[in-house]
């Protein structure tokens, strides 16, 4: 699939997801550190990590949605269509859980309530499912993968055609 939002020959959505995923995971770790060590600095760091992760997740979701719109050419009854929808829904739930936790922390980010931490843990656990679904789309179903991809394909920055390289082999 060569459609969707691309930059320098690569799909943008998979490039962007590393930021919210890393920020939200790190926010979860800092939240747990706060719970175990009772140090409000960890809770404050978790607050800002979660906020940045939500912002990054929304930006990443925008590009995921752009890709989904381009996937309309994929037949409606395909596994890729179903997995793509599930991936988007699951990750939306993750962002909602983290946003609800952020809302509960807003008045006192240095002392989050236990429900705020539970929401973060639930969001982190569910994000594993969303990540697996995204991996399934790319690695199993080839969504976002250039149709001529192979171990000797030229750089995406090259003007050389992947198809032309494959035809000469």
Contact 113, 120 (CB under 8 A): no
The reported pLDDT for the residue numbered 3 is 63
The reported pLDDT for the residue numbered 142 is 81
In this prediction, residue 159 has a pLDDT band, given cuts at 50, 70 and 90, of low
What's the whole-model pTM score? Answer: 0.86
The reported pLDDT for the residue numbered 71 is 60
Does the pLDDT value for residue 92 go beyond 80? Answer: yes
**Rounded to an integer, what distance in angstroms lies between the CA atom of residue 5 and that of residue 110?**
38
**Average pLDDT for residues 83-109, to the nearest whole number?**
95
Indicate the average pLDDT of the chain: 87
The reported pLDDT for the residue numbered 168 is 47
The reported pLDDT for the residue numbered 166 is 47
| DSSP of 57-115 | HHHHHHHHHHHHHHGGGS-TTSHHHHHHHHHHHHHHHHHHHHHHHHHHHTT-TTS--HH
Higher pLDDT, 70 or 90: 90
SS3 126: helix
Percent of the chain scoring above 70 in pLDDT: 87
Q: What is the DSSP letter of 9?
A: T
The reported pLDDT for the residue numbered 163 is 55
For the CA atoms of 151, 154, 157, 160, the dihedral, rounded to the nearest 10 degrees, stands at: -150
**Rounded to an integer, what distance in angstroms lies between the CA atom of residue 103 and that of residue 97?**
10
């Amino acid at each position: 699939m060569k459609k969707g939002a691309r930059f320098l020959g690569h799909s943008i959505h998979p490039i962007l997801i590393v930021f919210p995923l890393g920020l939200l995971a790190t926010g979860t770790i800092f939240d747990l550190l706060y719970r175990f060590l009772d140090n409000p600095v960890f809770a404050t760091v978790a607050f800002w990590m979660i906020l940045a992760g939500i912002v990054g997740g929304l930006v990443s979701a925008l590009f995921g949605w752009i890709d989904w719109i381009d996937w309309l050419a994929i037949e409606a009854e395909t596994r890729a269509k179903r997995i793509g929808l599930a991936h988007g829904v699951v990750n939306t739930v993750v962002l909602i859980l983290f946003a609800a936790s952020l809302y509960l922390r807003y008045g006192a980010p240095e002392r989050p309530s236990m429900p705020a931490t539970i929401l973060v843990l639930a969001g982190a656990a569910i994000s594993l499912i969303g990540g697996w679904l995204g991996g399934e789309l790319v690695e199993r179903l080839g969504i976002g993968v250039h149709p001529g991809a192979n171990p000797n394909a030229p750089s995406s920055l090259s003007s050389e055609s992947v198809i032309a390289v494959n035809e000469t082999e």
